[in-house]
């Protein structure tokens, strides 16, 4: 007689039941559930507070709806049925629609299927995954690399695997949410230093000079909301002085800064001084995913302890193959040309904006923040722009602090000069009546 595992049955702990008995129990349970649900309709909705909070956000004008892309993610494309100059995407090099990446993705799907079928540590490690990791490690000039499902999971999974509750994390105040969440998950003591303030970072370490646990300094390489670059060489000096692990999240620097987009470490020639380098495959690389580069032992440890790696299914063959095609491209003269074009476009766009009276203090990269302050006003600015043919999103709390809302425009290598000039004109026209420029 077939039997059913005890732990699958409601209220039964140890004895074995036949499937017939189990089914009878389940039917009784289901009819009981149904009569309970009838009672529930008269109970108060326990998620009522969510509806109230949502109503409040909508009333304040800070609940923008999702814009829906119709077609490809390109420098000029169609959102919500309207053609706009796209200054909203992280597609820095235009690789989301590059023919080499498309071909690699299609070929991999054809030959290897649509999915990986398991987490990496069970049966979901395909040859492609290993090849991608080797390729990235070589590109970044490090011993080894592990690929995660996203940049978010790379940060959160790594910080929480490497640090524990007896340790200290010293973190820039504008670090990305995935670093903050990883730090919280680690249960380490978290101390925050003022943005890019190396002295403040050192002050914290001096105050914790007899801290018994491990210490980590962590910073974004390029800050996603301000477009400024971390003072990496100086932070490395502090890390070395106080015996800290040094970690950099290069999500917005990969494919953007350094030779051929090799990142902040390459930009500052800090090779060998950063123990943990995180990058994303979802922005300049044009696909999806994240990675961690470091020593062979660090990566082997993450294979065993980074929870998103252990507990979430690996990339589809198409994703891994497209990422490989992207790195092959970056590692070629064509890739270097794209990175140069990105920087040339950034120069043009910033020059055109400055001519029209915009200021974007701090930005050193293709991320151009236009500070507005009030969130509702920032959303109104963004809406006006959209109606006039430019898509640049407003960013408010919780992505940035309350009262520091802004418009964030991102330049790509794929923009044409005339599109950037036209976008600057439209930005100026929308900004004037709102008092954002004089
Ligand atoms: N770090 C930073 C600085 C980011 O801006 C982002 C994306 N917003 C991430 C990590 C996460 O990357 P992904 O989109 O690949 O999860």
> 32 or 109: which carries more pLDDT confidence?
109
Q: Which of 155, 224, 251 to mutate to test the pocket of ligand 1 (most atoms within 8 A of CB)?
A: 251
Q: Pocket around ligand 1: residues whose beta carbon is below 6 Å from it?
A: 150-152, 155, 176, 178, 220, 224, 249, 251-252, 280, 282, 290
23-27, 114-118, 334-338, range with the lowest pLDDT? 23-27
Structural fold of domain 62-92+333-434: 3.90.1150
Res. 8: pLDDT tops 90? no
User: CB 371: neighbour CB atoms within 10 A?
Assistant: 17
HSE (CB half, 13 Å, CA atoms) of 186? Answer: 30
pLDDT grade, residue 7 (50/70/90)?
Answer: very low
Q: Is 31 a catalytic residue?
A: no
- Residue 269 tokens read as 């020639």
Phi, psi of 239 (to 5 degrees): -60, -40
Three-state DSSP class for residue 156: helix
- The confidence score (pLDDT) of residue 2 equals 40
DSSP characters over 338-376 = HHHHHHHHHHHHHHHHHHTT---TT--SSEEEEEEESHH
Q: Which of 171, 256, 280, 282 to mutate to test the pocket of ligand 1 (most atoms within 8 A of CB)?
A: 280
Q: Which of 156, 183, 224 to mutate to test the pocket of ligand 1 (most atoms within 8 A of CB)?
A: 224
Length of the chain: 438
Task: For residues 112 and 317, give the distance between their C-alpha atoms in angstroms, rounded to a whole number.
Answer: 6
Q: Are 231 and 261 in contact (CB under 8 A)?
A: no
Q: Is 267 a catalytic residue?
A: no
CA of 376 to the centre of ligand 1 (A): 25
Torsion angle (degrees, nearest 10) of CA 315, 318, 319, 323 = 130
- The confidence score (pLDDT) of residue 20 equals 57
CA of 101 to the centre of ligand 1 (A): 21
Q: Alpha carbon of 51 to those of 56, 62, 199: distances in Å? A: 9, 15, 45
Q: Provide long-range contacts, Cβ within 8 A and 24+ apart, for 183-187.
A: 183/159, 183/218, 185/156, 185/159, 185/160, 186/159, 186/160, 186/162
- In ligand 1, the atom with minimum distance to the C-alpha of 288 is 15
CA of 210 to the centre of ligand 1 (A): 34
Res. 18: pLDDT tops 80? no
pLDDT grade, residue 399 (50/70/90)?
Answer: confident
Task: For residues 360 and 350, give the distance between their C-alpha atoms in angstroms, rounded to a whole number.
Answer: 9
Which whole number is the average pLDDT over 208-236?
97
- In ligand 1, the atom with minimum distance to the C-alpha of 176 is 3
Q: Alpha carbon of 18 to those of 25, 29, 334: distances in Å? A: 11, 16, 66
Three-state DSSP class for residue 2: coil
- The confidence score (pLDDT) of residue 3 equals 41
- The confidence score (pLDDT) of residue 19 equals 52
Please choose, from the candidates 374, 304, 393, the residue with its C-alpha nearest in 3D space to the C-alpha of residue 80. Answer: 393
Strand partners, 77: 84
Task: For residues 26 and 233, give the distance between their C-alpha atoms in angstroms, rounded to a whole number.
Answer: 64
Phi, psi of 25 (to 5 degrees): -60, -40
- In ligand 1, the atom with minimum distance to the C-alpha of 282 is 15
Q: Is 416 a catalytic residue?
A: no
What residue segments make up the domains of the chain, in order of their start? Answer: 62-92+333-434, 98-330
Q: What percent of the chain has pLDDT over 90?
A: 85
Nearest CA to ligand 1 atom 12: 151
Give 98-330's CATH code, choosing from 3.40.366.10, 3.40.640.10, 1.20.1250.10, 3.40.50.300.
3.40.640.10
Q: Are 280 and 289 in contact (CB under 8 A)?
A: yes
Q: Alpha carbon of 414 to those of 43, 258, 382, 389: distances in Å? A: 55, 19, 22, 17
397: left (phi over 0), alpha (psi -120 to 50) or beta: beta
Please choose, from the candidates 279, 231, 275, the residue with its C-alpha nearest in 3D space to the C-alpha of residue 253. Answer: 279
pLDDT grade, residue 193 (50/70/90)?
Answer: very high
CA of 378 to the centre of ligand 1 (A): 22
């Amino acid at each position: 007689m077939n039997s059913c595992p005890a732990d699958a049955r409601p209220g039964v702990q140890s004895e074995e039941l036949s499937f017939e008995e189990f089914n009878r129990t389940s039917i009784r349970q289901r009819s009981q559930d149904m009569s309970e649900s009838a009672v529930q309709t008269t109970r108060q909705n326990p998620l009522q507070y969510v509806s109230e909070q949502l109503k409040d956000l909508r009333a304040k004008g800070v609940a923008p709806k999702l814009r829906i892309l119709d077609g490809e993610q390109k420098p000029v494309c169609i959102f919500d049925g309207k053609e706009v100059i796209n200054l909203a995407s992280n597609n820095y090099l235009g690789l989301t629609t590059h023919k080499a990446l498309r071909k690699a993705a299609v070929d991999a799907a054809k030959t290897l299927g649509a999915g990986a079928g398991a987490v990496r540590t069970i049966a979901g490690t395909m040859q492609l995954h290993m090849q991608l990791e080797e390729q990235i490690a070589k590109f970044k000039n490090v011993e080894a690399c592990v690929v995660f499902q996203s940049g978010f999971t790379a940060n959160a999974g790594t910080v929480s695997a490497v640090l524990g509750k007896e340790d200290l994390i010293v973190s820039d105040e504008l670090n990305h949410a995935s670093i903050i969440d990883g730090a919280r998950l680690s249960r380490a003591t978290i101390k925050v230093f003022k943005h890019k303030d190396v002295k403040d970072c050192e002050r914290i370490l001096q105050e914790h000079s007899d801290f018994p646990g491990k210490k980590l300094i962590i910073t974004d390489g390029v800050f996603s909301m301000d477009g400024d670059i971390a003072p990496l060489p100086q932070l490395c000096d502090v890390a070395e002085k106080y015996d800290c692990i040094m970690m950099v999240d290069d999500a917005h620097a990969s494919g953007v800064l350094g030779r051929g987009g090799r990142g902040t470490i390459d930009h500052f020639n800090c090779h060998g001084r950063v123990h943990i380098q995180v990058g994303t495959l979802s922005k300049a690389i044009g696909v999806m995913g994240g990675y961690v580069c470091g020593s062979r032992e660090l990566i082997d440890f993450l294979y065993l302890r980074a929870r998103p790696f252990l507990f979430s299914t690996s990339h589809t063959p198409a994703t891994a193959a497209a990422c490989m095609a992207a790195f092959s491209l970056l590692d070629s003269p064509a890739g270097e040309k794209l990175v140069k074009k990105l920087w040339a476009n950034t120069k043009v766009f910033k020059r055109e904006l400055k001519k029209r009276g915009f200021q974007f203090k701090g930005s050193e990269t293709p991320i151009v923040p236009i500070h507005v302050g009030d969130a509702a006003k920032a959303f109104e600015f963004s809406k006006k722009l959209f109606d006039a043919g430019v898509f640049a999103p407003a960013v408010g709390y919780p992505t940035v602090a309350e009262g520091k809302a802004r418009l964030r425009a991102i330049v790509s290598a794929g923009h044409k000069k005339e599109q950037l000039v036209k976008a600057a004109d439209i930005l100026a026209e929308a900004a004037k009546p709102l008092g954002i420029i004089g």
